[in-house]
Amino acid sequence: MKKIVFAFAILTGILSNAQDFQGIAVYESKTSTADFMKGMSQNRDLTPEMQKNIEARMQKAFEKTFILNFNRTSSIYKEEEKLEAPGQGGGRMMMSMMGGGGTHFKNVKEQNYTVDKEVFGKEFLIKDSLPKYDWKLEGESRMIGNYNCFKATAVVPIDESDFRNFRFRGNKDEDKNETKKDTTKTSTTNLMDQWEMPKEKIITAWYSPEIPINQGPENYWGLPGLILEVNDGKTTILCSKIVLNTKDKVDIKAPTKGKEVSQKEFDETVKKKMEEMREMWRSSGGNRGGRGGFGR
């Protein structure tokens, strides 16, 4: 504990005296595809081989590397740019639908954030206040790389615009009864009805006081140290590399491209679009879908 306090004091002094202090943290993000594959298994039009290929592509699409550039008050979090292999465009589109992509800027001093997102072919610029996490500091500790980290948990409301939060619930009893009455329906007719969005989830974070920066990946912040790992039960974001006092400085500023909306407005827009897709799926009998974009 003395080592942590000593390191904290040294780094706090460094950060307070160095106006141009910057650091870089590299994060590896992985999202479980189990729920998605449960949903896919209900589609009779997909052969086991097709499902296996879809699962492989989804796993690859959900394994991403992100870079967090930070200073004492602000940060930008962005996916590491990589050349896509032929045929991987679908994975890129899927990640866009799942809430990924774009630049995530947050200012912990002013407690606000800006995110640019492209969803269903339209660009949005989300500006809002940072969420207030009611962190519970636990007594557990563990090493992540060379840093001693401590556990914190929080219950947070679900971001309805992030498709990664969908859960597969399967057919309800009434769906089964309805299927018995109407034998002309296929198992794919109500496929989208078998998904639901929970109201809240539990976040587990591991932070290191040895790096006294009030920052973390995505929209996570508010702990007495850099957050090196976050897990929400479905997605794990783990820091794999940290560089402090970087020589090459990055211009840490908010993105400006896209239609400006609040987080609530963005969520409502995406939710409305999902309802439209659900109705299209129902009216087409689940056998075909429409791309349908947002109006420009």
- pLDDT value at 296 more than 60: no
Q: What is the pTM of this model?
A: 0.73
First vs last C-alpha separation in the chain: 56
State residue 276's pLDDT score. 82
State residue 201's pLDDT score. 86
Neighbours of 49 (CB within 10 A): 8
Q: Which residues, at least 6 apart from 57, have a Cβ–Cβ distance to it below 8 Å?
A: 88, 90, 91
Q: Is residue 91 part of a domain?
A: yes
Q: Is residue 188 part of a domain?
A: yes
**In the structure encoding, which two tokens stand for residue 6, read together?**
């000593």
Q: Is residue 293 part of a domain?
A: no
State residue 156's pLDDT score. 87
**Ramachandran class of 102: left when φ > 0, alpha when ψ lies in -120 to 50, beta otherwise:** left
Percent of the chain residues past pLDDT 90, beyond the cut = 42
- pLDDT value at 7 more than 90: no
State residue 202's pLDDT score. 92
**In the structure encoding, which two tokens stand for residue 138, read together?**
């636990």
Distance (Å, rounded) from C-alpha 46 to C-alpha 61?
20
Q: Is residue 289 part of a domain?
A: no
Q: What are residue 51's phi and psi, to 5 degrees?
A: -65, -40
Q: Is residue 28 part of a domain?
A: yes
Chain mean pLDDT for the chain: 76
Percent of the chain residues past pLDDT 70, beyond the cut = 59
Q: Is residue 269 part of a domain?
A: yes
Q: Which residues, at least 6 apart from 146, have a Cβ–Cβ distance to it below 8 Å?
A: none
- pLDDT value at 29 more than 60: yes
Q: Is residue 288 part of a domain?
A: no
How many domains would you assign to the chain?
Answer: 1
The amino acid present at 230, given as its one-letter code, is V
Q: Report which of 215, 229, 236, 206 is spatially closest to residue 69, judged by C-alpha positions.
A: 215
Q: Is residue 290 part of a domain?
A: no
Distance (Å, rounded) from C-alpha 159 to C-alpha 220?
13
State residue 2's pLDDT score. 41
Instruction: Give Cα 122 to chain centroid, integer Å.
Output: 19
- pLDDT value at 271 more than 60: yes
State residue 226's pLDDT score. 97
Containing domain of residue 237, as a range? 2-283
